[in-house]
Amino acid sequence: MRQAGRYLPEYRQLREGVSFAEMCRDVDRAVEVSLQPIDLIGSEAVILFSDIFTPVPALGVELDFAPGPVIADPIRTHAQLKKLRVSDPRETVPFVFEILRRLRVELESRQIPLLGFAGAPFTLAAYLVEGSGSRDFATLKRMLHREPDLLRALMDVLSEMTVGYLNAQIEAGAQVVQLFDTWAGLLSRDEYREFVQPVHRAIASQLDRAAAPLILYVHNGSHVVDFMSDSGADVISLDWRVDLAEVARRYGDRVSLQGNFDPCALEAPPERIAEMVGELAAAGRPARGHILNLGHGCLPSTPVEGVRAFTAAARAL
């Protein structure tokens, strides 16, 4: 969950004078930033340093990070949609796979697993239609209600891109892949069932699952946990609004769980963090598997001591 984020002074130092997009393309720096959390905070897995928008410019979309993605010409018409092209990511974003291959070599001897990731079509579409992040994504929702076929067609293109991108990551050495659907929780249950659930299932069925299990994350998704557990993903990743004990009891025989510590609770004193980690581990125990993690990424203001207290408590369990 955005482990290499802006809360680490060592990340900020490496990032100085370089744009975020350049950082993602700079194999040496990206490898170094990906590895930083192992020694700096004691994490037991590594996620590729990149962004969910890395493969998007290759579709023919102009975008920038400021600091979140900003789309030069938001997609609102069929004519714009028709111009999008799905390419072979090995040719258009080769650096992503070079970073993964280098990371696998670095991590092999340390026996630390490597995660790849992608943005889910609904979340990518949310930014592409809206033009940037938003509180309520009103333009996206207008499209959903006025031109549902246009939104579906956009998500079809993004699904094709996502499947190719994740399979290429698995081929390059990602041992697990995580699909981030940060904004799908904006939808009602009926809308989620209609627009999001089939997309997750289609992606899950087209990935090389024998080589890498799939984790599905939905932010603000406490009302759609049943759909998540039925998405075909091996692990569902939850935010802190979800009662993990209840989900573990109800769905834990079908899917493994990941989460769901509130990153803001990393502000608590270390002893209290250790107590909460113990409670969280106990809550997840009825599930067939539970990856202790945050429920969302760290904030730039998250105290590094809090993150260390979390990993230390998890390791001490």
- Residue numbers annotated as active site: 2, 6, 15, 51, 127
- For residues 64 and 196, give the distance between their C-alpha atoms in angstroms, rounded to a whole number: 26
CB of 119 to ligand 1CP, least distance (A): 6
Which stretch, 42-50, 70-78, 246-254, 255-263, contacts ligand 1CP (CB under 6 A)?
Answer: 42-50
Closest to 181 measured CA to CA, from 124, 263, 240, 255: 124
CB of 269 to ligand 1CP, least distance (A): 25
Query: Binding of ligand 1CP at residue 167 (CB under 6 A)?
Result: no
Query: Binding of ligand 1CP at residue 148 (CB under 6 A)?
Result: no
Nearer to ligand 1CP, 117 or 195 (CB): 117
Nearer to ligand 1CP, 135 or 146 (CB): 135
Nearer to ligand 1CP, 104 or 288 (CB): 104
Query: Binding of ligand 1CP at residue 270 (CB under 6 A)?
Result: no
Which stretch, 62-70, 156-164, 287-295, 308-316, contacts ligand 1CP (CB under 6 A)?
Answer: 62-70
Query: Binding of ligand 1CP at residue 60 (CB under 6 A)?
Result: no
- For residues 96 and 31, give the distance between their C-alpha atoms in angstroms, rounded to a whole number: 10
Considering only residues 90 to 129 of the shown chain, the ones binding ligand 1CP according to CB under 6 A are 117
CA distances in angstroms from 129 to 76, 124, 283, 315, listed in the order given: 6, 9, 38, 42
Which stretch, 4-12, 98-106, 264-272, 283-291, contacts ligand 1CP (CB under 6 A)?
Answer: 4-12
Query: Binding of ligand 1CP at residue 74 (CB under 6 A)?
Result: no
